[in-house]
Structure 1
Amino acid sequence: MIAAAENVTVRFGERVALDRVTIDVPAGAVVAVVGGDGAGKTTLLRALAREVIPESGTVTSPEKHEMGFLPAGPGSWSALTVRQNLDFVGGAYGLGGDELRSRREAMIERCGLTVAADRLASALSGGMRRKLAAAMAMIHRPHLLILDEPSTGVDPVSRIDLWRMISEAAAAGAGVIMSTTYLDEAERAAHLVVLDAGRILVQGSYDDVHSGFEGTITRGAQPVRREWSWRRGRERHEYWPGESVQTDAPRVDPDLEDIVIAMSLAQRLRVAP
């Protein structure tokens, strides 16, 4: 196991950011953490990166130089070029000479930045700058790769490039844990962790999460109980947690978005799904 959190609780003042969270990050696998704003995703990643000290519980992770961390912000220095950013980070991890040049050029090619290699980071598009930040986190080939919403706000083509880079890192043996707002990305991960208000609602493979979901989801223009519904396109989906369905509306085979929203509603409305 590359990294793990066991019964980890983190507080910021009176607010509980993580509540007895337990997860494993195995080598060669991608773990995706999903949840709404304030769910605890960033806190969990920062705890694994040893940037946040838990109030209780145990965190196991590699030494700092064996980790790569991509924060939610830009993740690069705007006054440096693409090559200079990679050289600076690579040098900080002890790389130099031909090895650094070789890795730098390989990363530039892998993330599609060859034409922009000598451009300042401040002059890059949002997607290009995010790919640069990911390359900076990966250049030293870390054992643990921690990515905080790497593709948020990134164009579809750059999202594909980013996911390929992440998959290649895992295939090379790294343990990868990433938060994401894109549930189609989360479905590709080997392991899902669904957080809400600092608690794990469910975790496992996508197939496990889908097959273990209890209750019924219906769709229609007018829900019976609006507080249990959410908009999907031109319709509203409504969750019926473990009770008789009080509508003739068509049933839905839930996708991950439906499951995450339904379980979050059940948690907040204090009804066990």
Structure 2
Amino acid sequence: MSTHPVPGADADPGGWGVRGVSVVFGDTVALRDVTLSAAPGQVTAVVGGDGAGKTTLLRTLVGRVRPRSGQVSAPATVDCGFMPTGASGVWQDLTVDENITFVAAAHHLSGEELRERRTQLLTTAGLDRAADRPAGALSGGMRQKLAFCLAILHRPRLLVLDEPSTGVDPVSRVDLWRLVSRAAADGTAVVMATTYLDEAERASVCLVLDRGRALASGSPQDLLAHTPGTLTSGDAPAGDRALSWRRGRLTRSWHPGPPRAGEQPIAADMEDAVIALTLADQHREL
């Protein structure tokens, strides 16, 4: 196990993860005292807007960024799998099969073990008929599925995925989530950043980040049950003191206090909960 301790930080007894981690780039604090746990057999989702610190957190977890303070606990590099965002996880001039062979060589996989693993992953990902196609000629969704196969090829103990389904078609999103779920069912600890909050609702644990700080962490059910303030829905914004945004044909309105006279609060979904957490944090700073 590779551990990067800093005085004052204790190891997390629950598995892999980070505890009290802060990361600074020049004058920018990218992460501030963030804690995240990654348990074997579970999916942990990291959500937040652009600049929230999601990618920095994932790169810190796999040892690509060293924190200024806090502790990182992760398996040895050989037991980690990392899928970066976009198409950077594949070699586009190589075919699907050549990508598999190249990564397998790095992990000393060969012979029957490699043949079985290749067949299993490409069939599950729906890439078995594209094995001879250059990765650069694949659709965005197929490239993302190939990148996932490369990250999981060596059966890592910790799998870290940076927005694996961003920009792919709905069918490929379903395929990717099936692959993620199967990896967790096989005992892998999975940590994934995602911009799709319906995916976050399927995770065991969600961490909500904003401007490098953790706003909330817990099961999706806990986050929904403890959404701060009052949320309503209607054809127009609910009063001058409410903050509002569009959801389809309707307008969501939120304010930090309990329901006012005549208000009919609605139950939050994950998108509502993340927005409410962010607005509540901004309200506290005023």
TM-score by length of 1: 0.95
C-alpha RMSD of the superposition: 1.6
Q: Which residue of 2 aligns with 1:241?
A: 256
**Shift of residue 231, structure 1, vs aligned partner:** 1.2
CA distance in 1, matches of 2:23, 2:152: 28
Which amino acid letter does the alignment assign opposite residue 63 of structure 1?
A: A
Q: Which residue of structure 2 aligns with residue 172 of structure 1?
A: 186
8 Å CA contact 1:220–1:236 kept in 2: the answer is yes
* Partner amino acid, structure 1, of 2:278: S
Separation (CA, whole Å) in 2 of partners of 1:200 and 1:178: 16
**Aligned counterpart for 2:282 among listed residues 259, 268, 273:** 268
2:73 is the counterpart of 1:60: yes
Alignment of 1:31 onto 2:44: yes
| 1:37 aligned counterpart, secondary structure | coil
- What corresponds to 1:140 in structure 2? 154
- The DSSP-based 3-state class of the residue aligned with 2:86 is coil
Instruction: Tell me the amino acid that sits aligned with residue 228 of structure 1.
Output: L
Count of aligned pairs: 271
| Match in the other structure for 1:76 | 90
Structure 2 residues not aligned, in runs of 5+: 1-13
How far the C-alpha of 1:157 sits from its partner, in A, is 1.1
1:16 matched to 2:32? The reply is no
Identity rate of aligned residues, in percent? 52
SS of residue in 2 equivalent to 1:38: coil
Deviations 1:119-151 (A, max 9, x none): 000110110010000000000000000000000
Partner-residue secondary structure (3-state), 2:265: coil
CA contact (8 A) 1:220 1:250 kept: no
Question: Which of 222, 245, 266 is matched with 1:230 structurally?
Answer: 245
Aligned to 2:35, the other structure's residue is in SS state strand
Contact 2:86 2:164 (C-alpha < 8 Å) held by counterparts: no
Unaligned runs of 5+ in 1: none
3-state SS of the aligned residue for 1:176?
strand
> Is 2:175 the partner of 1:161?
yes
Asked whether the equivalents of residues 18 and 73 of structure 2 are also in contact (C-alpha less than 8 Å), the reply is yes
3-state DSSP of counterpart to 2:155: coil
